[in-house]
Amino acid sequence: MLSIKRVPTVVSNYQKEETGEAAAGGCGRNCLKSCCIQGARLPLYAFKKVDKVCGNELPLLGCKEQHPVAFLDSLVLGEWEDRMQRGLFRYDVTACETKVIPGEYGFIAQLNEGRHLKKRPTEFRVDKVLQPFDENKFNFTKVGQEEVLFQLEASNDGEVQFFPNAPIDVENSPSFVAINVSPIEYGHVLLIPRIFECLPQRIDHASFLLALQMAVEARNPYFRLGYNSLGAFATINHLHFQAYYLALPFPIEKAPTKKIAKLSGGVIISKLLNYPVRGLVFEGGHTLEDLANAVSEACICLQHNNIPYNVLISDCGRQIFLLPQCYAEKQALGEVSPELLETQVNPAVWEISGHMVLKRKKDYEEASEANAWRLLAEVSLSEERLLEVTALVFQAITSSVEMNVKPQRLEEVDAVSPNAQHAMVAGSHECLVLQ
């Protein structure tokens, strides 16, 4: 088994629950709310708008070899390391054991007992993908300014700009990049679009384009962005994406795909094959906005139909996985086996992608490809349900984007034929659209 070397860090339980009302001169926590934000300054990174994704000729995991280290990449890591040295994390993620599980797919297992004990609990219903923002519950305006790494926006003059000490324009609601105080991996950060608009956890066109631009700008194939909807293990109802570094390919990135449609804007939509979680893959596009619009239309469709989902932005923004799921619903209906429930693993975007964050030493020691496959198979929609959901997605996309290739019916696409060691099937429950 391959072990991944770690470096030491400082451990702290810095982020505490907010207490009391704001006192004169602020609440005492140096937070992002009106009591403390006046006159505050933070670094500002203004990225150059790009039209295309890192060059379509680049191979998978090949972006970094084609470019010098990007400034955004260095900025994220440098600022994250600074917060690590200042002790702003709830536990030492670099001390977590990690290994690659033997097998065809190379699932990655991490033992992270600290995240289970110290992660903020979910504070909202899991059966509603769209829920209104509630300022009384935890949201990112309540974090300390020390946790914010920098502001992120598009450059006005078409060139990259960096201002190490820029004022915060609250009226125009900037987007922030902040640390995740309960990290899964090295460099684990949060992208919080238009933070002061206090948007609930739902994707829109502008926010998804920003996330895609961040992936392209980082120019590092080991830096992926992920998104969890409510009902698919998002724990905070304030719009955010997650991102971190892992210098290994995710198993989902290695899974075969089959093309099922192409849009007039050049975006190719494929179906995942031979992977325990069924889903769609978006690639290509004449412009970055073509790709962003296609994916965001699909996400908006799922949100409006109350279908929980996860998104992985991979390969410097060239490949996007859209993964509708039903684990929380099956869990609520008592259709998940006690054995899987006892692991207390919540299969969100990273687990679905093949990075299994395990909370018990027993599960880590007994980790196997068969066990990973069995858990993820419970997350997946059935083939029949995916067909219905894909039809909804295509209808939504075609209402705004003309398709020049008629999508195949999914039952006409080659069926998944798992290997003998993957002889597990998804539960029988059909994940119905909740009204």
Would you please indicate which residues are annotated as catalytic (active-site) residues?
240
CA–CA distance, 34 with 32 (Å, rounded to integer) = 7
CB–CB of 344/358 below 8 Å?
no
46 phi/psi in degrees, rounded to 5: -110, 115
For tokens 């099937």, what's the residue?
425
Please give the helix or strand (H or E) that residue 212 lies within, else none: helix 205-218
> Which value, in Å, is the radius of gyration of the alpha carbons in the chain?
21
Angle at alpha carbon of residue 176, lines to 175 and 180, rounded to 5° = 140
Helix (H, G, I), strand (E, B) or coil at 138: coil
Going by C-alpha positions, the residue among 267, 310, 311 that lies closest to residue 288 is 267
**Encoding tokens for residue 251?**
């198993």
Q: What is the crossing angle of helices 288-304 and 383-398, to 10°?
A: 120
At a CB cut-off of 8 Å and minimum separation 6, what does 338 contact? none
Please give the helix or strand (H or E) that residue 388 lies within, else none: helix 383-398
CA–CA distance, 217 with 44 (Å, rounded to integer) = 15
CB–CB of 149/80 below 8 Å?
yes
Going by C-alpha positions, the residue among 186, 165, 162, 226 that lies closest to residue 81 is 186
CA–CA distance, 319 with 114 (Å, rounded to integer) = 31
CA 184 vs CA 10, 50, 107, 388: distances in Å: 15, 29, 15, 33
CA dihedral 159, 160, 163, 168 (to 10 degrees): 80
CA–CA distance, 210 with 216 (Å, rounded to integer) = 10
Q: Which amino acid, one-letter code, is at 115?
A: R
How far apart, in Å, do the first and last CA atoms of the chain sit?
A: 46
CA–CA distance, 40 with 357 (Å, rounded to integer) = 36
Going by C-alpha positions, the residue among 170, 174, 191 that lies closest to residue 44 is 174
CB–CB of 344/359 below 8 Å?
yes
